[in-house]
Structure 1
């Protein structure tokens, strides 16, 4: 995302519970990060692949690493939020958009400032 600064990304990565990366010639080609309590839920966030490397299997390698990570082996629910066009990609790992009565809700920084 163009509104993310290097400092923001560094803070995000440092404060995530699990970060999986793919390096290519010492360059970051992609990463995925997870927030988790390691028991009930793990939330996969920011599966990002460098635009010039998309379609090369890096995203699949990241997801394989996440879903098979030993730290997440006993987590009851592995969840993620994605754009509608990416649903078929994530379905390959058993993710579904059929989540019962759950709804995604969000409170933005703007709401905190005006509310």
Structure 2
């Protein structure tokens, strides 16, 4: 997938922070990083963009409800409900809900503390 890919404008997204863990307190060498869990809701026709990577912030997704389409490397893959996709250093993607009901995911990732 090229960074020149045209991605629809972000719309119809709600993000709720559920919890965080300070990894620097838990694991030596992880100072400044946290484990983060969020609930992301994508309304029908919604787009979670822009095209973005996960370098330095790996994660994983579980779809609770609906179907989320993950666009990467020129391929659109539908997930849900159930196990979703990994988000590693090679991930460059954007998401959408092509369905008729809200799609809800739980996203867990490692991020720099703000």
TM-score, normalized by the shorter chain, greater than 0.5 = no
Q: Which has the higher helix share?
A: 1
Q: Give the TM-score normalised by structure 2.
A: 0.28
The answer to which structure, 1 or 2, has the higher relative contact order (CA under 8 A, 6+ apart) is: 2
Q: Give the TM-score normalised by structure 1.
A: 0.28
